[in-house]
Every structure is written in C-alpha cells, then in structure tokens.
Amino acid sequence: MSTFDKCNVCNEDYCIKKDLMIKILTRTTVKASEDCSQYITFPENHILLKPNDELDNIYILNNGKARIYRVDHTGEKQILRLLNVGDLLGDAHIFDSEVYEYYVETTTECEFFLINKNEFKSIVKNNNNLSIDLIRYLSNKIEDLELLVNTLTFHTAGQRLAAYLVSNAKKVVPKDDGTIQFKISLNRDEIADLLGLTRETVSRRLNYFKKLSFIDIKGKNVTIHNINKLEELMYNECCH
C-alpha cells in the first residue's frame, strides 16, 4: 500500500484531516493528487531546508516539532520560529519563486505533508473557506512575529521573559477577578531558544516572578495575577 492509499490522519483517500491542520485547513478537506502531494517523515535533527534552497512545495507539519533559525557571523544560531502541528512552511513564498533564506531543522521526528505550490494556489483559489483560513493563519503569524521582535528588543533575561508572558496574556480575555489564564505551548528549552536564553535562566526568572506573586505556573498552565507589574518589569533595567 502506498503512502497515498489512505491518509494516516483521517483514514480518507488523498486528504488532510481538518482537525490536525486547524491553523490552516479548518472546516475543509483538501483533495490532492498523488502527482503533486506526499507525506514524508524526517528524523530528529534533520536539516530540512537551508539558505538558497528552492521552494517548490508547501510543507504542512502533520506530526512532530521543528525550528527555523539563522546563523550569524559568529556561528551562533538565532531561533526565528518554532513549528508545531498544523504550521505551514513556505507560505511566505506561495506567490513567488524566491529561494529560502533560513535553516529548518526538525527537533523531533517529523511528518510533513508536501503539496506543490501551484496545486496549493489552485486549491486556495477554488475554496473560499480555505482562503479565509489562510488569511487568518497568516495574520496570526504576522502578529506572533511582531510580538517576538518586540520581545527581543529587551536586553535582560527578566525583561524578555516578562514581555513573552505579557504578549501571550494579551491574547486572552481576563477573568472577572482580573487574573489571566493561558497555556504555553512551548517547554522551557523551547522558550529559552526562542528568547535567546538558557533553560536555567528561564526557570530562575519564572520562579522569581512566582515569588513576587505576579504569576503561578502548573506545568504549561500559567495564571497571571498582576499583569501591570509584569509590564513594569519589561521596562525595569534592574530586572536581570
């Protein structure tokens, strides 16, 4: 049986299950031919793309995690984005033929759904719901990137982490008692990579915020008790 006989997500022929592709394929099932689409599994720590690679396909992460980064003149990696299930790769080049600018590396074993860019454009053109979902996905992605850029403008570890928490909190409606609750999708290592910090520093600063009674954390569930104080820390040069 070939990879294309049955979708391993929804058990239907030649399709992407909407439940796993919620960021881009909500409320629709995409039919794609064997000639222009495929599922491919990559091992952990595999370099999927590198600068100057041509992008003929759109990649949709079906399972696993990956990261996008660049390497500066000193050889240090700067994390630009972390990919989770449902994320698109190559969406910035849907309508052009430019080469890719960054490195893409799997951080776990990953399964991607690859679909030819021209076929993807045809599907979007003929599916109004998918077009709306694509616009929504790209808008959310731009917002997240703007928040990341804003976060990285802060110099100290405490400022960056406070800004990261505040940016997540502002996506959520506060409860009647003024607290804000949300779930962080990243683990401590991933937060550290994203903010240019160490895992130990992230843990230390989170414990410091808890000691000040600004936040509570249970696993990946965060409760912010005083967002105003966190915002003050963002601009407090003493927050190291």
Please check whether residue 65 lies inside any domain of the structure.
yes
When pLDDT is cut at 50, 70 and 90, the band that residue 97 belongs to is low
**Which of 149, 175, 198 is the last residue before a domain boundary?**
149
118: helix, coil or strand?
Answer: helix
Residues 126 and 171 in one domain: no
In a domain, 135, yes or no: yes
Structural domain of 227:
155-234
The whole-chain average pLDDT of the chain stands at 77
Structural domain contains residue 6: no
The Cα-based distances of 125 to 16, 118, 198 in angstroms read 17, 11, 44
**What's 228's domain CATH number?**
1.10.10.10
pLDDT of residue 86: 80
> Would the pLDDT of 10 be above 70?
no
CATH code of the domain containing 100: 2.60.120.10
Q: Are 105 and 219 in contact (CB under 8 A)?
A: no
Residues 53 and 141 in one domain: yes
pLDDT at 147 over 90: no
Give CA 180 to chain center in angstroms. 22
Sorting pLDDT into bands at 50, 70 and 90, what band is 110?
very high
Write out pLDDT tens, residues 50-79.
999 988 888 888 889 999 988 888 887 888
Average pLDDT on 43-56 reads 91
Quote the number of domains for the chain. Answer: 2
**Percentage of residues in the chain with pLDDT exceeding 70?**
79
pTM here is 0.63
Q: Are residues 97 and 111 in the same domain?
A: yes
Higher per-residue pLDDT: 211 or 145: 211
